[in-house]
Amino acid sequence: METEAGIMKAVKNRRSYYDYTKESTLADEELKALLRQALYHVPTAHNTQLTRIVLLLSGQHDLFWDMVLEAILEKNPGKEMKTSREKIAKFKNAYGTALFFNDQKTLRAAIEEMPAYKSQHETWAQHGSAMLQYVVWCLLEEAGMGASLQHYNPIVDERVYEGFGIDRDFKLIAQMPFGVTVDEPWNKTYIPISERFFVRE
């Protein structure tokens, strides 16, 4: 029961945070181990294991958010992009960033092996990545840190491939800046659970 309570506590308390400090409650080796365990144990459809994580720390983390800002400015020539600059500066001030990918080579192999499910494999791949993102998010919450989920792909993809030497078969799905947070948790509003949960007995 203690484990269940711990899991549900992280699920209940998880929020999107946008203001961070360059601090971590975990040593880097502990952080790496946490993400490895999530990647190892979170399921994927037919056990394809196509999910990938690239953990960016220190200067590599800073470099990524510089890349994102460059990509945004390139897409909006001549514009100030003040809001984007402020948002990216906050993400850059986080401790680190987890990049989530799906390996397209593995996905293609799964389609070849099970062609009858060809139209479903991409959806299942997204499900696997989503579960991994959520588990990592909750583990960071449990460790006393905050995070948010960002989607600056595909405008930053080429910079990521070139800047970090990422396999081009890895499809960037999402980015998660994280660290000790500055902002306070905000109260979520909920529609009645009776409109969302149904039982037939």
pLDDT at 4 over 90: no
Share above pLDDT 90 across residues of the chain, in percent, rounded to a whole number: 92
pLDDT at 147 over 60: yes
Decide: helix, strand or coil at residue 179. Answer: strand
Distance in angstroms (rounded) separating the CA atoms of residues 49 and 151: 22
Average pLDDT of every residue of the chain: 95
- The CA-based angle 66-68-73, given to 5 degrees, is 95
What confidence tens digit (pLDDT) does each residue in 17-40 have? 999 999 999 999 999 999 999 999
Residue 42 has a CB neighbour count (10 Å cut-off) of 18
Q: Would you state the pLDDT for residue 7?
A: 87
Give CA separation, 34 vs 63, 70, 78, 111, 117, in Å. Answer: 23, 31, 42, 30, 33
Share above pLDDT 70 across residues of the chain, in percent, rounded to a whole number: 98
Over range 179-199, report the average pLDDT.
92
Confidence at 187, pLDDT banded by 50, 70, 90: confident
Confidence at 54, pLDDT banded by 50, 70, 90: very high
Residue 171 has a CB neighbour count (10 Å cut-off) of 19
**What would the DSSP string read from start to end of 63-130?**
HHHHHHHHHHHHHSTT---HHHHHHHHHHHTSSEEEEEEEEHHHHHHHHHH-GGGHHHHHHHHHHHHH
Domain ranges of the chain: 17-181
Q: Would you state the pLDDT for residue 31?
A: 98
Assigned superfamily of 17-181: NADH Oxidase (3.40.109.10)
φ, ψ of residue 179 to 5 degrees: the values are 165, 180
Asked whether 28 and 61 are in contact (CB, 8 A), the reply is: no
Give CA separation, 77 vs 69, 74, 158, 182, in Å. Answer: 12, 6, 18, 32
Across 8-17, 65-74, 162-171, least confident range? 8-17
Place of tokens 């409109």: 195
pLDDT at 136 over 70: yes
Confidence at 84, pLDDT banded by 50, 70, 90: very high
